[in-house]
Structure 1
Amino acid sequence: MTKPVPQEDLATIGRRIEAFVFDALVVFFGSLVLQLLLGGMAGLENPIFSVVRFEMGAVVYVVNVVLIVCYFVLMRAYLGGQTLGARAAHVRVVAVEGYRLDPVVALIRLAVAVVSAAILFLGYLLALFDSERRTLQDRIAHTVVVREILITPTHDKP
């Protein structure tokens, strides 16, 4: 059994929502740009692969999903447990056991988060009743969302 994270180190529900909304905007606008770049070519026949309009739309969709998964998994696994939204909200996802997030754990956490969001965000509501503010994806992936400690420089008066 692991030692619980002190309450003062846990991310607040408000900060978690802030990170979620910021990441949703990043994904939305990133997908929009991808659609404009790749989807704009969907009406043209690709001379290299001979892809017609319908197949190009499917390719754009698959590329979009792969990039979204990579965004969440790789950033959480290799950039200190933070996506752009988490960085903006000054929170990070960490493993309960104290080790760095494994890409497989980050992928499992993402998959559960997607299912949880699809079912009226029910898995997220657990954070309201959990002493460590953990959601369903946190429980399954053995993670917790903590505040990022901000160190401000102190200036000595001359």
Structure 2
Amino acid sequence: MYCPNCNTLNDDSARYCSKCGEYLEKKALEVCPDCGTERQNGDEFCNICGYKFADGPTPAQTAPVTGSFDAIGDTNGLNSGNGGGFQSSPSHNYGSYNAANNREGNVRYANFGERLVALIIDSVILGVAGFFLGMVFVAFDNEGITNFLSFIIGIAYKAGMEGSSNQATLGKMAMGIKVIGPDGGRISYGRAIGRYFATFLSTIILGIGYLMALFTKEKRTLHDFIAGTYVIKK
């Protein structure tokens, strides 16, 4: 093995150069793809067969790509008919949501704390809106109308904003998180409305539906599972 620093020939088992002390495994060896001869000191041509080296690393330096494409999805057809594909690095550990990993890049699921703060912000906003709404309709002295309008405002605010291009309520926007669908993109208004109604189920079971975000792999709540949605960091 030649030292990449002083070009001294060392034993293949040596880790450091016997002359200058350079770490011998610091650089990957570049070899001629035709005859397998090692490239010396950045030579432009192979000393044995005359092959002209490229400026960058030769194909021989590139490790073969093997494994499955399951971890990040196969939306581009890279796994079709070739028996191989790419395998995502386990260090990312972004969960099992294939479409999000493929479409959004290295996504991170919104944690329970971020979602809780967003919920508190949204609750304050809706509480203030409900207060002014009650002031407006106090003259009618009709609690039924006020409750109905509050319900409509809740749907319009949460479902409307999560189904919009923002994909988030004001609380979620403040926390830098958004709601995505099974395909990793914007959810429809119909799905957003279904998700809104599913939050009632998460609430009436003593809030356990919300607490599920603490224990599930993708930090999903019960209403996320029902609506098929995910909440990710932008």
Q: TM-score, normalised by structure 1?
A: 0.78
Q: TM-score, normalised by structure 2?
A: 0.54
Q: Of 169, 173, 183, which residue of structure 2 is paired with 1:83? A: 169
Higher helix fraction: Structure 1 or Structure 2? 1
User: What is the rounded CA distance, in whole Å, between the counterparts of 1:101 and 1:30 in structure 2?
Assistant: 25
Q: Does 1:74 align with 2:160?
A: yes
User: What is the rounded CA distance, in whole Å, between the counterparts of 1:111 and 1:139 in structure 2?
Assistant: 13
1:96 deviates by 2.6
Higher gyration radius (CA): 2
Report the counterpart of residue 149 of structure 2 in structure 1.
63
Aligned residue for 1:93, secondary structure, equals strand
Q: Which runs of 5+ in 1 are unaligned?
A: 43-52, 149-158
Report the counterpart of residue 178 of structure 2 in structure 1.
92
Alignment CA distance shift 1:20-1:129 (3 Å)? same
Structure 1 outlier segments of 4+, above 4 Å = 4-8
Q: Does 1:142 align with 2:228?
A: yes
RMSD: 1.8
Higher RCO structure, 1 or 2 (CA under 8 Å, sep 6+): 1
Q: Is the 8 A contact 1:19 1:86 kept in 2?
A: yes
Q: Of 16, 19, 22, which residue of structure 1 is paired with 2:118? A: 19
Q: How much identity, in percent, do the aligned residues show?
A: 26
Report the counterpart of residue 29 of structure 1 in structure 2.
128
Aligned residue for 1:134, secondary structure, equals coil
